[in-house]
């Protein structure tokens, strides 16, 4: 827990936000500024600033991110139309919240490369 971190505070409930998925290690919320009809954030409960902090001991949790992403995507029919799982690592890549999180985007055609 980082006392000044938005996603730590949402995770522990001190900032209210509807959680669309919860486990001991992860939770998911709808993005407040959606960039697609489905835009979900999967957020590990433990505070790590970015992908650069991920270690071998986090591999199981990272695997569960993919399981949860597939589950949430299938519930929304995105297994039929496709979805993107994105991590912005560092401010130069567009990371604005310095607590690791995984974006699920889908429900519209997605172009490549992203901007």
The candidate with the shortest Cα–Cα distance to 15, out of 70, 97, 73, is 97
Site for ligand AMP in 18-47 (CB under 6 A): 29, 31-33, 41
Phi, psi (degrees; rounded to nearest 5) at 73:
-65, -45
| Residue 52 engages ligand AMP in binding (rule: CB under 6 A) | no
Catalytic status, residue 101: yes
Contacts of 63 (CB under 8 A, 6+ apart): none
* 2 binds, options Zn ion, ligand AMP, none, Cβ within 5 to 8 A by partner type: Zn ion
For the annotated catalytic residues, the residue numbers are 101
Binding positions for Zn ion, rule: CB under 5 A: 2, 5, 7-8, 47, 99
């Amino acid at each position: 827990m980082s006392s000044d971190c938005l996603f730590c505070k949402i995770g522990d409930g001190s900032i209210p936000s509807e959680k669309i998925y919860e486990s001991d290690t992860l939770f998911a919320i709808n993005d407040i500024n959606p960039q697609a009809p489905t835009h979900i954030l999967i957020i590990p409960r433990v505070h790590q600033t970015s992908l650069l902090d991920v270690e071998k001991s986090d591999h199981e949790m990272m695997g569960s991110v993919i399981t949860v992403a597939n589950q949430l995507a299938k519930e929304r029919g995105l297994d039929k139309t496709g979805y993107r799982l994105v991590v912005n690592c560092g401010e130069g890549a567009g990371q604005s919240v310095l607590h690791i999180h995984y974006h699920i985007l889908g429900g519209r055609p997605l172009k490549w490369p992203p901007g």
